Amino acid sequence: MSGTVLFRCNVSASVGIGHLMRCREMARYLKEIGWRTVLLGPPESLRQPQDEMLFDRWCDVERRGSSEEDAARVLALCDTEGARHVVMDDYRIDPPYQAMLRRAGLRWLQQFDASNPWMFQPDLLVNASPFERREDYLPWLETPERTRTLFGPSYAVLRPAFAALAGADSPPRVEGREVRRVLVAFGGGDDRGAIAQALRVLAGRLGPSVTLVIVSGAANPQRDDIARSVAQLPAGQAEFHVNPPDMTALMRDCDLALIGGGTMSYEAAICGLPMVFVGLAPNQERPCLGWQALTGALFLGLVGTVEDAQLYAAVSSLIEDIDRRRDMAARGRELVDGKGTQRLVNALLERKRDRL
């Protein structure tokens, strides 16, 4: 069996690029098993050379319009491309939008924003947050027996280099060594001042051998200010990377992560990094609380609400506590096994493959 899967993806500097990353990795697996893929939404400016191999067609959307207009756009493209399977990686898919997809007889997978639940009716409802439980969403399922919920880190979509770390013969980082490199990264979009605060509070204050490894996306509107701030620091206090070509190697070389509650949390977990969280938006609060409950990671609050003293105390105390760091790292690696992409695609296509 083969066919076409259509992806509706919402991505921007404010939303972040995690949605597009997930679509790319699911498309990669779909191409491996012989399916066509069509991407709808992201602007051409985000298109990379690899996308020529991942997507048979890339259709940008300059103006979304109403839910009814966008749903009609999806349905028209499904008809043109012969797609009966859809991945909705867009948190704006409200009940009227869903009703149009259901009436059209499409089978679809829906990523959703847990901070703003509404009635759901997809075939597959997906959230990789370690916080979510099916029983909490039964009142929000239009027809519970028809909607399968795929919740938790086992459904996290990771880039291949990170997924490959699962099951490695040796841990991805040296356990028990002193903290020398602290990753500070808040996704590929707008970090909303989180990096600036980290530089102000932590640079040069964590010990002479500790370097802040700052990572930003090219679309981050704070990027130039961050670059200037790092350039003014004494050598060795911080280094700045924009869209690093080998993020996996960079993260594996770090010893602790100060991050938001998005896709990078799963990457940090599989790398065995102890984590301190500052959420960028309300929809990151629940994932951060989940990581805190299951791994002992520190969730300080949302950006703009975290006091400088609170941030410094959290990071510096964790640097001093080797047992706590080791326990966080072990628990995080237990939760993320790198097979989320295959699980989601196989569920969407109703393929019975090896047990994952």
Q: Which position has the token pair 């997924």?
A: 163
Run means of pLDDT, 10 residues per run, the chain, 356 residues: 93 79 97 97 93 97 96 98 97 96 98 87 96 95 97 95 78 73 94 97 96 94 97 97 95 96 94 96 93 97 98 97 95 94 97 56
How far is Cα 242 from Cα 293, in angstroms, rounded to an integer?
A: 32
Please, which residues bridge with residue 285 across strands? Answer: none
Predicted pLDDT at 219:
86
Please, which residues bridge with residue 225 across strands? Answer: none
Q: Which position has the token pair 């989601």?
A: 344
Q: Which two tokens stand for residue 111?
A: 């990523």
Within 199-351, strands assigned E span: 211-216, 238-242, 256-259, 275-279, 298-302
Contact call for residues 24 and 54 (beta carbons, < 8 A): yes
Predicted pLDDT at 91:
93
Q: Cα-Cα-Cα-Cα dihedral of 131, 71, 187, 114, to 10°?
A: -20
Q: For residue 103, give the 3-state DSSP assignment.
A: helix
Predicted pLDDT at 103:
97
Predicted pLDDT at 315:
98
| Domains by residue range for the chain, with CATH | 4-158+338-349 (3.40.50.11190), 162-335 (3.40.50.2000)
Predicted pLDDT at 15:
72
Secondary structure element (H or E) that encloses residue 68, with its range: helix 67-81
Please, which residues bridge with residue 299 across strands? Answer: 277
DSSP 278: E
Among the listed residues 271, 267, 304, the one whose alpha carbon sits nearest the alpha carbon of residue 285? 304
- Residue by residue, DSSP assigns 286-327 as HHHHHHHHHH--EEEEETTTS-HHHHHHHHHHHHH-HHHHHH
The count of residues in the chain is 356
